[in-house]
Structure 1
């Protein structure tokens, strides 16, 4: 029976074997060169930090053969099911040869088992060999693939590793089953092809995402992805900082003089404001422990930075010297003092990073909090934030479990109204965004306007897995009238090129009529990426100025700015040549405001939505302190192309279209509707 099966099968087997030999030869000839170019490119880009752009160029240069090889591997299982599975039984039934076999003392079970086993194993082996050579050849491209072509994306996942073998087994069994039911070879082949194609589409798009929750990876800052930290002196610190140690007054001194030497405006800053804030923070720490002392008196300050520090340090040591000599107890006043000095700068980009910790049960991709976003962020600004406060997004976790929905109005937080006489209560709003280890329950009084329901929920902060779509940096889609819509959640290191690729793919086979760039909730990132993205809409322009503080403000008017370095467009970036509308809100900050202000000043497009956050500065540089904590300080100030200040002011939209609770509840996006109207008027 095995010999008979081989006689019937050998022509088809020889054809597939020949095709595999040709494919393997072609990949064996080109694979080593591909790997060599990838290795050389990685070596070169690692020296200048340009690896993201190398990945883009390398993949774009080899995208056509990459897609061709991937499609071949995807098609092989279908062909095996079509030409090996479907005719396996139907050919015998149509010709009647099965009756001859059954009359030769061969049972039906043995006849079918031998044919299925022999041919089925051959089909799985053929698909496995095809996948093996393709996976080996495409390894460099898989490591540099653009979004949409990564290993776990539907197109590529089915063409790597053992997945094609599983598809081949399924296609073969499907073909045999359909053939036995239809009993006609050509209709069985056609039906097999249709059913297998449907499964290949439905499985990755509708079934696989629900089999297991997606897993995201987090990477610790280290020598591989951070060139260096600067110590708060003149040394460079390479790699990861050592574990933190208790903060002392010596560390506070180091931070104080680091601010004066490296912070924008440090040369002209009145240092007395920093020391006053630092001493004021010491008093509550004494009160908390019931240890307020008569010696806790602020010394007189003269304006001489070194003399004032000496007086401050003497008074501080005199007070804390009367406290119990416990390292942790001594560290709390020092930490409070240092934090107050940094806070006194009143700069969103100046911060002291310390005490960072993860929850014990943290897993890659987890987030901590209540699992919601509201129309106001953690740092709601009095005078600019407007009522009401309402939920805009439910990410998961406690908020999802409690049944909250977009559009739910938050009437009170822990008993406090978020707005009093129209003015926002920042502390109440900040309670919506607890950070670990904050674990206190948050009580919300809610109103659902669609039903008129009032109710109260208590949410306990915790870890949760957010919706994977909320974690995507770039989310493209095609809107009506061939308008390209791209939501950009942050200016990550390769964000600009990812946006350009997304627009290019949306325009494949059609003529785009405009671009809507959604920057709502974009907290910023790389100013260089914002500048590169602007370069797709204009050449030969200044997109911002980074200005040092002037040592003599009399010479520069009341701005206090000295020499300003312009940031210019990268004219090597191809122009898109498309009308642009940008969606903004109070969540658009930092590099997002760099982009928005340039669009407005340079008239590259129109802004729709609400005013931006007003939290923009130059990129902050890290300085390692003596307790192995990090002080982040911007050394220049950002000015828009028209040299206006954006920090604390924000960028006003050309068309003010705020979101309302009813809009959020109905899933209606009036700002996007207005953007589409503008593109077609």
Structure 2
């Protein structure tokens, strides 16, 4: 990145002749020097932008380009769906009006599923990339080069310096990811779930919708900043941030089905078990006369053997299917998003605590 904190003079501004570095002459036309003779904090956001303008600029420009691409893709997907009347249809559907549309749905998936999956993958990876290339170098580069020492000897205290370093990147990250999430949700409403085969509960799909990409992006920024403060080495901080984001996202993926109670569908013993097209199936099995729930593996019944006799032996009276219906999507997303955001706030608070203990 260009620029370091070392560009600040004792007055908190860049060097220059005729008082430009002091903020009290022709170099300070806006009168930015305060009455008490100390430089205000508002000079630091400009410096942060100067230091990290490449990454911030790429993030903003890339987000804008992705939004335009998403709008074009949405128009093409909508045109195909309308022309073939396959809205809400899947390859194997329970919806009567979708009968005979399998060929059109297959053609739609062949044409647009790769693009939709690419967008999902990008939104899932973006938080880790933000943490690695923006969060980790944010403080680590200053500490590694020693340029932070100049700022900490001036009127700008360490906590105000850290707040200024975080504020602008956090604002850019929030703006970019919120915009991308909104555009993807707009795109998803046309061709998501059944038609495309990319379901809301899939790992890629869930990480791309609603508050999830925004919360994880802020978590990546917080995790990278804290790693930089602790390790004080840029490359090591980037590696630790990447590992931490992989672990955290994997852990929440495992926790996700249990964030709220699932619903259970009941069927007769010999009835076919079918879930709605857009439901997230968690498990299925058999219920016995005593009310116990058994899976096929628990009973050991073989389809090619005396299956009926095996069911009678275990006193099976019915079948069950545990699922999250599509109505659980947004509650699950907001619960997980809230937990992730709370973790981001906790890591940010810890970063300030580390800064206070190390630098006063």
**TM-score when normalising by structure 1:** 0.33
Say which of 246, 257, 261 aligns to 1:209: 257
2:349 corresponds in structure 1 to none
SS of alignment partner, residue 197 of structure 1: helix
- Which of 1 and 2 has higher RCO (CA within 8 Å, sep 6+)? 2
1:56 lines up with 2:99 in the alignment? no
CA contact under 8 A between 2:70 and 2:183: conserved in structure 1? yes
1:200 corresponds in structure 2 to 249
1:367 lines up with 2:266 in the alignment? yes
1:30 lines up with 2:73 in the alignment? yes
CA drift of 1:14 comes to: 1.5
CA drift of 1:13 comes to: 1.6
1:399 corresponds in structure 2 to 291
Aligned counterparts of 1:109 and 1:396: Cα–Cα separation in 2 = 62
SS of alignment partner, residue 367 of structure 1: strand
CA contact under 8 A between 1:397 and 1:466: conserved in structure 2? no
Query: Which string of whole-angstrom CA distances, capped at 9 and with x for unpartnered residues, describes residues 316-353 of structure 1?
Result: xxxxxxxxxxxxxxxxxxxxxxxxxxxxxxxxxxxxxx
CA drift of 1:163 comes to: 0.9
Say which of 159, 166, 186 aligns to 2:208: 159
Query: Which string of whole-angstrom CA distances, capped at 9 and with x for unpartnered residues, describes residues 467-489 of structure 1?
Result: 459x9xxxxxxxxxxxxxxxxxx
Aligned counterparts of 1:179 and 1:399: Cα–Cα separation in 2 = 55
Structure number with larger C-alpha Rg: 1
2:85 corresponds in structure 1 to 42
Q: Which has the higher strand share?
A: 1
Aligned counterparts of 1:68 and 1:48: Cα–Cα separation in 2 = 27
- Alpha-carbon distance change, 38 to 396 in structure 1, aligned in 2, over 3 angstroms: farther
1:91 lines up with 2:134 in the alignment? no
1:82 lines up with 2:132 in the alignment? yes
Say which of 106, 115, 120 aligns to 1:65: 115
CA contact under 8 A between 1:59 and 1:146: conserved in structure 2? yes
Trace 1:109-148 onto structure 2 (pairs within 5 A): 109-145=159-195
Q: Which has the higher helix share?
A: 2
Aligned counterparts of 2:56 and 2:154: Cα–Cα separation in 1 = 26
Query: Which string of whole-angstrom CA distances, capped at 9 and with x for unpartnered residues, describes residues 286-309 of structure 1?
Result: xxxxxxxxxxxxxxxxxxxxxxxx
CA drift of 1:408 comes to: 10
CA drift of 1:156 comes to: 1.0
CA drift of 1:5 comes to: 2.6
Aligned counterparts of 1:86 and 1:198: Cα–Cα separation in 2 = 17
CA contact under 8 A between 1:123 and 1:169: conserved in structure 2? yes
Aligned counterparts of 1:169 and 1:398: Cα–Cα separation in 2 = 49
CA drift of 1:168 comes to: 0.2
Say which of 182, 189, 195 aligns to 2:238: 189
CA contact under 8 A between 1:87 and 1:185: conserved in structure 2? yes
CA drift of 1:105 comes to: 0.9
* Count of residues in correspondence between the two structures: 254
Say which of 417, 425, 433 aligns to 2:317: 433
Aligned counterparts of 2:147 and 2:155: Cα–Cα separation in 1 = 14
Aligned counterparts of 1:116 and 1:430: Cα–Cα separation in 2 = 61
Unaligned residue ranges in structure 1 (runs of 5+): 216-364, 379-392, 410-423, 435-463, 472-681
Aligned counterparts of 1:137 and 1:408: Cα–Cα separation in 2 = 45
- Alpha-carbon distance change, 397 to 122 in structure 1, aligned in 2, over 3 angstroms: farther
SS of alignment partner, residue 228 of structure 2: helix
Aligned counterparts of 2:288 and 2:160: Cα–Cα separation in 1 = 55
CA drift of 1:136 comes to: 2.1
CA contact under 8 A between 1:134 and 1:160: conserved in structure 2? yes
Aligned counterparts of 1:48 and 1:130: Cα–Cα separation in 2 = 31
CA contact under 8 A between 1:366 and 1:466: conserved in structure 2? yes
- Alpha-carbon distance change, 151 to 111 in structure 1, aligned in 2, over 3 angstroms: same
Aligned counterparts of 2:290 and 2:165: Cα–Cα separation in 1 = 56
